[in-house]
Amino acid sequence: MNDSAVDFAIFGSTPLARLLASLLASAHGKKVVWLGDSHAAFRLPRSLDLSIGPMTRPKSWALLSQCVPETVKLIARAGGKAGMTRLDPIFFANTPMSRQALAFVRSSATSFGQTIERVPLNHQSEARDGILLRDAIVLHRDLMESILDRWLDALDIMRLSPTHAQISIAPDGGATIAVADVIVRATCTVLADDEAILAHLPPQTMAGLFTRQQMTTILTEPTFPMAGRVMLQLDAALSLLQGKHRGVTAIAAGDHDVCVSHIGALLGAKRQLRQAGGTSHERLNTPDGAAIVGRMSGTGPQLLAGLGPTGAFLAPALARWLAGAAKPNEAAYFAARNPDRSMASSHVSEFVPLAPVRTIT
Amino acid sequence: MTAQANRIEADRQPGSTGTAIDRSRPLKFRLDGRIICGFVGDSVLSAAMASGIDMVGEHGGQALGLGHRFAPALTFGKAPLAQALPMARIPAIDGADLHSCGGRHFQLPPLGRARRSLRQDLDRHALGSPWYDQAAQSQVACDVVVIGGGVAGMSAALAAANTGASVTLVETAPMLGGNARYFGSQEGDEPPDQTITRLTAEVTANAAITLLLQAEALSVRAGRVRAHQIVVDGSQLRGTIIDVIAPRIILATGAMERLPVFPGNRLPRVITSLEAYVLAERYGVWLGQSTILATVHSAAYRLAMMASDAGIATRKIADSRFNPQSRFIEYSRAYGIMQATGTIPARAEPAARGLGLSVTLQLAIDGYSHVEPPVPTDLLVLCGGWQPDLTLWHMADGRSRWNDVRHRLEPIESASQIAVAGSAAGWFSKHACLLSGQDAVNQLFGAQRIPVTELAIDPAFETPDAATPSVPRGQVVSQASYLDGGLNLIQPPDPAPETGPRWWPLRKRTPAWSLTAQPQALAIADVAAGVQLGAIPVPSAGIVAQERAVASGALLDAAQPESFLPQHPPMPALLVPNYLVGRFGSEPQLWVVTPTEPRILEIGALLFLNSDQSDSRQAIGAIVSSGQAKTIALIGKPSPSQGESLTLRDTGRSVPIKLIAPFDGPWSDPALSGEAGPA
């Protein structure tokens, strides 16, 4: 039996989890084990990794504008240039509530140097507002995953599949992971994506902190170019990404039929779209729409949730914070988003789309 | 192109001269302007192949063969695309004028290789199936719908009818029976011919069973099956979409033949063994006069003997199994057919002259590899094993998992009102398929289950199927290879290695390859090939199949634009939405404001104490409502006063504004109704 001790056990299959593991090891000298799956090359995506998001609070934009260049350099250094594309996403809003929110997204982003243009009238209607945000970066998970996995290997970070591991997370946040004849003891556990939280956090701990939302991903056959290669519709939590072969990946709240109706509402019924794949999954939402970063009542694992599409790009700040080396603004930002905050009178809340959710009991 | 060069002579032994055609009734029709000869009973596809058309077009500069699973949609005369029908299912009609859909290369007159081609531009236009996009035109209701008219489907339909249920049996072919004949008979069991004749008579005589022949099931959802049927309307053929509404559904969709993965595996005159069997048995068609077979399955030896009976020279059978045993192999030796065991197809290329191929075989046993010299042949017949057709099962949310011994995806039984039977359920023998059809009915009706057992021959006498062969990556070859033989043209990763040092900007890089990046539905055989090539891990195979092995029509129904209207409840915008709580201090106030110069103040524009400030974190307020009557701002400044000036910043410009009066209306946007208060 091979017994080893590490500082951090990072659970999660997203680029954020991989980046955190690599940063904690390379930039902060921590011993790390990473537990996740590598399936982006053959399974449909559950979320999007974008360097901008529909955030209404200036502090969120401030942190993001500080982290994005750092993350991009980091990924490039890891050989991941091929897994990133620069593009100009478009955010749309239909209802009065979301149009109002979009206005605050625009004003907050603009003050941090984000170039924003109104979407030309031919792409919107009286019942819809749209803004185009220049020069954002999208990560292609199917390519990025293998690049980051190679980087984790180069950093001698142990990569384990949670499906084949016996995992026990202690109240103090430590974890014992047994795989075959290897036992790894971690001082700190980080649950870095929804899948990891759903798998390892007891439902009674999740209740009150999260609601479950049914999400649907649909992949289409190639279609005509969209107005923007990435489009977000705030009301429906709908994200559309058109790949280089012109197939569209749509991720939206609701079941298959609801997702189709949102795609139709945004792209128009005349567009020829044929399905090339589809799946449904669950996403964890927070009651106030803001991120959750930290431990519940100071116990258990560190939770990273509700970071939206920009999560991966916050990895440098999150890694510093986990390693106890956060800058003052980062520490203040994450402290304000701790899981123990009052959700009813939250001072960090973000726009919450009106979509059906399921309470965790 | 008028002669039927590929038609087996009528005086050959029965079994390969065409049971479906009537040679005494010749016919002619036009296909893309060319006159095609055939017989009554032919499909348009079989008549075209009999007449020498064996190529659909070019993809990436390489010819792709015509076949049952890869043929263009056709229209009669100048009918619109929406009325197109599948080439393989259209019966040949004397005097018809048919046109292939999609983008065609223009060439007049067709020369050289183009004479055997439908000249589809496959780089720019993928072959389509427009009938998938259509809405239902009629509805049929019944207690049980059975999809698939093979022995398992017929067995299930009869068992369901015996319970007193009304049954609809949906079959793609114009006749019942499926593919059981191909696999031959087994000692101690009723021959397939007799079973099919008996079951067909019972099904057609049973008043409780409604037959939908020439009907392809397109989709399955709980309680509903959508099918596309070709019907005769006067002297015309037309397609119609039928929704079969039934609380219980049995899928007896059979198995698909896998395509070995090697360069040139989709050239014209490279076909699967089942397709070669159907063409010969039903339509008396065989492409060319010489054949090489490459198989992992013993029934292919029956096909070789059938070809010999029809006067076709079988140059060699390459069997990937080492020293396989089978009664069919013993019989084939009596025919003098040469067998090469432990051998797989390495590549196929068009012959330098003529219509044939140059086929290279490779001895591959336990790491030993030896590439043999190319052999010329008119036809290469492939059998890469059998994958249960679970396309509709996955569409109905059925689950599956990879069987590592049988090298295929198999369904996992669920408690829903949909059951799977026969080869689709993973059974091999006719005996087991018949039982599983009856068992599926018991499963759906909650009756006692029937134990289903294979009528298996000892492996010492009947060697099990081997895995589908694939040529090891790393070989640089001229022909493309494909994962499957259907409408998808998915190629395995480029085997060409990277060249040059990493720092060299002009070095050739291996293109990134992932299934996720393929923007098309996958056939279940694509997924199976992906597993065997290592692109999909075994534990994820079932999930990938469920996500990607879908067949579906238009996602958006242009006829119902109202269904795309956003379905949001009419909620008013709050003057202080949740994301402004705490942003401008703990006790912000709402004020009516006005610009000191004529200007529309936009929602979201930030307010500052003076024009020097621009960082949004320094903002002391923002415009939250802007209408013709009044503009309202949320202000967090301590003790704001009437007439006080502030600076508004919007898109970089600063605009002076004045506070007019505290706003004392409701805290929802005045433009909208509704009660609201501060969050």
Cβ pair B614:A111 closer than 8 A: yes
Q: What was the ipTM of the complex prediction?
A: 0.89
- State the smallest CA–CA distance between residue B544 and chain A in angstroms: 6
Number of A–B residue contacts, CB under 8 Å: 209
Decide if B556 and A347 are in contact by the 8 Å CB cutoff: no
Q: Which of A139-143, B108-112, B310-314, B641-645 has the lowest mean pLDDT?
A: B108-112
Residue of B nearest to A276 (CA): B521
Closest partner CB to B543 (pick from A43, A275, A354): A43
Which of A112, A246, A348 has the CB atom closest to B519's CB atom?
A246
Q: Cβ separation of B617 and A62 shorter than 8 Å?
A: yes
What ranges make up the beta strands (E) of B473-615?
589-595, 606-608
Contact assessment for residue B121 and residue B226, using Cβ atoms and an 8 Å cutoff: no
In 3-state terms, what secondary structure has residue A296?
A: strand
Residues 6+ apart with CB under 8 A from B665: none
Mean pLDDT across chain B: 88
pLDDT for the residue A122: 61
Q: Rounded to an integer, what distance in angstroms lies between the CA atom of residue B150 and that of residue B179?
A: 7
> What's the gap in Å between the CA of B527 and the closest CA on chain A?
10
DSSP string, A241-268: EE-TTS-EEEEEES-HHHHHHHHHHHH-
A103 and B603 within 8 Å at the Cβ level: the answer is yes
pLDDT value, residue B678: 34
Which of A44, A58, A244 shows the shortest C-beta gap to B516? A44
The segment with the largest mean pLDDT, out of A87-101, B145-159, B213-227, is B145-159
Set of chain A residues whose Cβ sits within 8 Å of the Cβ of B679: 345, 349
In angstroms, the CA B45 to CA B450 distance is 40
Q: Are B577 and A351 an interchain contact pair (Cβ–Cβ within 8 Å)?
A: yes
In the numeric block, the tokens 């013709």 are attached to: B628
Segment (H or E) for A179: strand A175-179
3-class SS string, B70-91? ECCEEEECCCCHHHCEEHHHCE
State yes or no: pLDDT of B474 exceeds 80. no
Peptide bond into B109 cis (omega under 30): yes
d(C-alpha B556, C-alpha B561), whole Å: 9
d(CA B602, CA A100): 10
Task: Say whether pLDDT at B113 is over 80.
Answer: no
Alpha-carbon gap: B508 to the closest alpha carbon of chain A (Å): 14
Residue with tokens 């408690």: B415
Interface probe with B: pick from A38, A60, A94, A100, most Cβ of B within 10 Å? A100
| Percentage of chain B lying above the pLDDT 90 cut | 63
Contact A19, A71 (CB under 8 A): yes
pLDDT reported for residue B672: 42
Q: Name the residue in chain B with its Cα closest to that of A233.
A: B566
How far, in Å, CA of B349 to CA of B380, rounded?
11
The residues, ordered by sequence, that sit 6+ positions from A93 with a Cβ below 8 Å of its Cβ are A99, A101, A102, A128, A129, A130, A233, A234, A235
Closest CA–CA distance from residue A27 to any residue of chain B (Å): 25
Question: Who has greater pLDDT, B134 or A155?
Answer: A155
Would you give the DSSP letter of residue B150? B
pLDDT at B502: 57
Chain B residues with CB under 8 Å of A273 CB are 554-556
> CA of A248, closest CA in chain B: separation in Å?
8
**What is the pLDDT at residue A2?**
81
Q: What are B59's strand-pairing partners?
A: B62
| Residue A279 contacts residue A169 (beta carbons within 8 Å) | no
Positive or negative, the CA dihedral B103, B105, B106, B111 is negative
Q: Of B517, B571, B572, which is closest to A245 when you measure between CB atoms?
A: B517
Q: Considering only CB atoms, which chain B residues are within 8 Å of A47?
A: none
**C-alpha distance from B264 to closest chain A C-alpha (Å):** 24
Per-residue pLDDT band for B290 (boundaries 50, 70, 90) equals: very high
Record the tokens describing residue B182, joined without a space. 């191909």
Rounded to a whole number, what is the distance in Å from the CA of B61 to chain A's nearest CA? 19
Which of B536, B565, B579 should one mutate to test binding to chain A, selecting the residue with the greatest count of A CBs within 10 A? B579
Residues 537-556, chain B: which have Cβ within 8 Å of A? 537, 539-540, 543-544, 546-548, 550, 552-556
Contacts with A, B 589-618, CB within 8 Å: 602-606, 614-617
| B650 or B329, greater pLDDT | B329
Residue A246 neighbours by CB under 8 Å, 6+ apart: A222, A223, A224, A225, B519
pLDDT surpasses 70 at B91: yes
Residues of B in Cβ contact (< 8 Å) with A288: 578
Q: What are phi and psi of B67, to 5 degrees?
A: -165, 175
Residues of B in contact with A306 (CB under 8 A): none
Q: What is the mean pLDDT of residues B251-269?
A: 96
Q: Cβ–Cβ of A260/B556 closer than 8 Å?
A: yes
Distance from CA of B443 to the nearest CA of A (A): 27
Q: Kindly give the pairing relationship between strand A32-35 and strand A158-160.
A: parallel
Write out residues 487-516 of B within 8 Å (CB-CB) of A: 512, 514-516
Identify which of B543, B582, B604 has the shortest CB distance to residue A107. Answer: B604
State the nearest Cα–Cα gap between A217 and chain B, in angstroms.
9
Query: Which of A13, A107, A258 best tests the B interface by mutation, with the highest count of B CBs <10 A?
Result: A107
Cβ neighbours of B604 in A, within 8 Å: 100, 102-107
pLDDT at B677 over 50: no
Stretch 121-180 of chain B: residues touching chain A, C-beta under 8 Å: 126, 132-133
A42 with B651: Cβ contact below 8 A = no
Put simply, the chain B residues between 571 and 590 with a CB less than 8 A from any chain A CB are 571-574, 577-583
What is the pLDDT at residue B557?
61
Q: Do B535 and A100 touch (CB under 8 A)?
A: no
Residue B673 binned pLDDT confidence (cut-offs 50, 70, 90):
very low
Give me A16's structure tokens: 């954020």
- Alpha-carbon distance of B31 to B509, in angstroms, equals 44
Is A94 within 8 Å of B550 when comparing Cβ atoms? no
In angstroms, the separation between the Cα of residue A204 and the nearest Cα of chain B is 26
And the tokens for A32? 């790390």
Place of tokens 């006829």: B559
- Give the best residue of B219, B391, B532, B556 to mutate against chain A (max A CB count within 10 A): B556
Q: What is the pLDDT of residues B27-47, one digit of tens each?
A: 999 999 999 999 999 999 999
Tell me if A111 and B616 make a contact (CB, 8 A cut-off).
yes
Contacts of B572 in chain A (CB under 8 A): 96-97
Calculate the alpha carbon distances from A334 to A198, A329, B402 in Å: 22, 9, 44
Cβ-count burial of B261 within 10 angstroms (0-12 exposed, 13-18 middle, 19+ buried)?
buried
Q: Could you read off the pLDDT tens digit of each residue along chain A, which spans 361 residues?
A: 688 999 999 999 999 999 999 999 999 999 999 999 999 989 999 999 999 999 999 999 999 999 999 999 999 998 888 899 999 999 999 888 899 999 999 999 988 989 999 887 665 556 788 999 999 999 999 999 999 999 999 999 999 999 889 999 999 999 999 998 889 999 999 999 999 999 999 988 888 899 999 999 999 999 999 999 999 999 888 999 999 889 999 999 998 888 888 888 888 867 788 889 999 999 999 999 999 999 998 899 999 999 999 999 999 999 999 999 999 999 999 999 999 998 888 899 999 876 555 565 5
Q: Which of B563, B565, B578 sits opposite A349 (nearest CB)?
A: B578
B519/A352 touch (CB, cutoff 8 Å), yes or no: no
B42-64 per-position pLDDT tens digit: 999 999 999 999 999 999 889 99
Cis peptide before B263 (omega within 30 of 0): no
Contacts of A260 in chain B (CB under 8 A): 555-556
From chain B, pick out residues whose CB is under 8 angstroms from the CB of A337. Answer: none
Look at residue B54 in the predicted model and tell me its pLDDT: 95
Residue of A nearest to B549 (CA): A277
Q: How close does chain A come to B3, measured CA to CA in Å? A: 40
Coil vs helix vs strand at A169: strand
Which range of B11-15, B77-81, B528-532 scores highest in mean pLDDT? It is B528-532
Residue B112 banded pLDDT, cuts 50, 70, 90: low
